[in-house]
Amino acid sequence: MSKVRVLVGTHKGAFVLTSDGKREKWDVSGPHFAGWEIYHLKGSPADPNRLYASQTSGWFGQIIQRSSDGGKTWETPGGGLKPTPGGMPTGESNKFAYDTSAATGKPLTTHQWYDGTQHPWEFKRVWHLEPSLTDPDTVYAGVEDAALFRTTDGATSWQEIAGLRGHGTGPKWQPGAGGLGLHTIILDPSNPQRIFIAISAAGAFRTDDGGATWRPINRGLRSEHIPDPTAETGHCVHHVAMHPKRPGVLFMQKHWDVMRSDDAGDQWREVSGNLPTDFGFVIDVHAHEPETIYVVPIKSDSEHFPIEGKLRVYRSRSGGNEWEPLTKGLPQNDCYVNVLRDAMAVDTLDSCGVYFGTTGGQVYASSDAGDNWSPIVSNLPAVFSVEVQTLQ
Amino acid sequence: MIQVVLPAHLRTLAHVGSEISIEVKGPVTQRSVLDAIESTYPMLRGTIRDHVTLERRPFLRFFACQEDLSHEPPDAPLPEAVSSGKEPFMIIGAIAGG
């Protein structure tokens, strides 16, 4: 029988929620890594018991954790208790060093600071982990200050894919309120050489050669917070989603505006339609209906909570423009939580499940594609990320 | 043996108790103590000092013998009471909320 495993990253630890295919009764395990910020954790499509977690702290920096048993036990890859009489240990799973080598790297230049001055690149944390579609030991990591890293040895060592940071527009990238983070990584299942990423606040980028070269894909975006609202880069993209069977179609929740591209990002058009506000963070696609998409509208960039205190998921069955509010089971008064960019996911059961977490510590689930909702848990620390695994 | 007190989160990460004993060869300095800690507990690399610059992480401080040694040069000798194992070298997380 099918099972569902929901991986939740929070402000003070990670939680693993499991249920059978009915999705009515849930077991809750955690907190794992109690007291640490867990920006993201995600399982390998090639080996669902292989999980990776980004564990971070303002005091102690960045740690990567790995599980090989579905989250029951964890290890720091390469960081075990192995005294090395010959010198320092080689395992450094928490080492993310920008590549400035002459052979493969790029000079460590500057990006824009909040006030428009230039600021040196500094590693702060891993925002997003994206395991390879085919190899459990290969994972991509999106980090702050924005860059893309990759491991091919199960997170023991990480190397920067320096072509992205160094391709030339870096001095025009600027941090959003949460920092200059690379938060979205989408691997194209039909083309192993193609990767999409997005950065706040720089925009979306695409490589068609496995990461060697990159180009901005922001044509059609309009952002009033940059001097030229239609500039090539500088846009605060909050999240991008793709249905795996339609890899050329992308959906984007921008700082303001919900956008759609039908040509792998070459051109975008707005599909906000009748949304009550087009500000928000999350966006996702139904597992079986590539034209059914979900957002959670947030009042504004200065008021990060739902309009009128009503938590509403909006669903479009037409790929945008026409939206319907989904409210059954969600609080419709006095609700002032936020739903952060990596905090929505779907399962792939016949009746598609949709899940999202809030900064108020609730994780809501719908086992009928959004028609009805109920909380799995209600009192976790603020939820940073939600990922779902459908297990057979 | 040098006695080192770790903050709670690093004890969990290294699977140790509140105080660890570390063997340091040669002069006992901040650098040699941290080198020995990281060699014995590789998962702590990057958590006390930056991977690349090897500078102390900004929200950590080093105390010993009722003194704040955070801003002492990394190669300066630690107090004799630390190098003889009578007093611990203490790695402290700054009180900054969280």
Q: Is residue B32 part of a domain?
A: yes
Query: At A32, which helix (H) or strand (E)?
Result: strand A27-32
Asked if residue A112 lies in contact with residue A121, where contact means CB atoms within 8 angstroms, the answer is no
pLDDT band, residue B98 (cuts 50/70/90): low
B95 class by beta-carbon count within 10 Å (0-12 exposed, 13-18 middle, 19+ buried):
exposed
Number of domains in chain B: 1
Task: Quickly tell me which residue has 């606040």 as its tokens.
Answer: A201
CA distance A290 to A323: 15
Q: Is residue B20 part of a domain?
A: yes
Q: Kindly determine whether residue B48 and residue A62, on different chains, have CB atoms separated by under 8 Å.
A: no
Here the CATH number for the domain that contains residue B19 is 3.10.20.30
- Give the sign of the dihedral formed by CA B35, CA B41, CA B47, CA B51: positive
Task: Quickly tell me which residue has 């990776």 as its tokens.
Answer: A52
| B62 in contact with A, Cβ within 8 Å | no
- Give the distance from residue B27's alpha carbon to the nearest chain A alpha carbon, in angstroms: 17
- Which residues, in sequence order, are CB contacts of A381 under 8 Å at separation 6+? A10, A11, A12, A13, A31, A361
Superfamily of domain A38-78+89-343: YVTN repeat-like/Quinoprotein amine dehydrogenase (2.130.10.10)
- Residues of A numbered 156-175 whose beta carbons fall under 8 angstroms of chain B's beta carbons: which are they? none
Going from the first residue of chain A to its last (392 residues), give the mean pLDDT of each consecutive group of 10, the final group possibly shorter: 95 97 96 96 98 94 95 86 48 82 87 90 96 98 98 95 92 91 98 97 97 97 91 96 97 97 98 98 98 97 95 98 98 98 98 98 98 98 98 92
Q: Is residue B98 part of a domain?
A: no
ipTM of this predicted structure:
0.84
Report residue A157 CA to chain centroid gap.
21
pLDDT at residue A223, rounded to an integer: 93
| B93 in contact with A, Cβ within 8 Å | yes
Q: Kindly determine whether residue A87 and residue B39, on different chains, have CB atoms separated by under 8 Å.
A: yes
pLDDT at residue A90, rounded to an integer: 47
Residue type, position B90, single letter: M
Residue type, position A186, single letter: I
pLDDT at residue B48, rounded to an integer: 95
Residue boundaries of the structural domains of chain A: 38-78+89-343
CA distance A43 to A391: 11
What residues form DSSP beta bridges with A51? A43, A67
Nearest to A94 among B9, B45, B94 (CB): B45
pLDDT at residue A392, rounded to an integer: 86
| B27 in contact with A, Cβ within 8 Å | no
Largest CA distance in chain B: 38
How far from A86 is each of A89, A90, A173, B39, CA to CA, in Å?
9, 11, 43, 10
pLDDT at residue A82, rounded to an integer: 52
pLDDT at residue A43, rounded to an integer: 98
Torsion of CA A207, A208, A212, A215, to 10 degrees: -40
Judge if the upstream peptide bond of residue A31 is cis by omega within 30 degrees of 0.
yes
Task: List the one residue out of A121, A254, A132, A134 whose CA is nearest residue A183.
Answer: A254
B2-5 vs B89-93, strand pairing mode:
parallel
pLDDT band, residue B96 (cuts 50/70/90): low
C-alpha atoms less than 13 angstroms from C-alpha of B49 in its C-beta half-sphere: 16
| A60 in contact with B, Cβ within 8 Å | yes
Q: Is residue B45 part of a domain?
A: yes
Determine the structural domain holding residue B37 and report its residue range: 2-93
Q: Is residue B60 part of a domain?
A: yes
Tokens encoding A199:
């950065």
Q: Kindly determine whether residue A61 and residue B47, on different chains, have CB atoms separated by under 8 Å.
A: yes
pTM, two decimals, is: 0.93
pLDDT (tens digit per residue) in B21-47: 999 989 999 999 999 999 999 899 999
- State the first-to-last Cα distance of chain B, in angstroms, to the nearest integer: 33
Q: Which residues of B touch A62 (CB under 8 A)?
A: 46
pLDDT at residue A87, rounded to an integer: 47
The average confidence (pLDDT) of chain B is 92
Question: What residue of B is the nearest CA neighbor of A55?
Answer: B13
pLDDT at residue A340, rounded to an integer: 98
pLDDT at residue A80, rounded to an integer: 63
pLDDT band, residue B97 (cuts 50/70/90): low
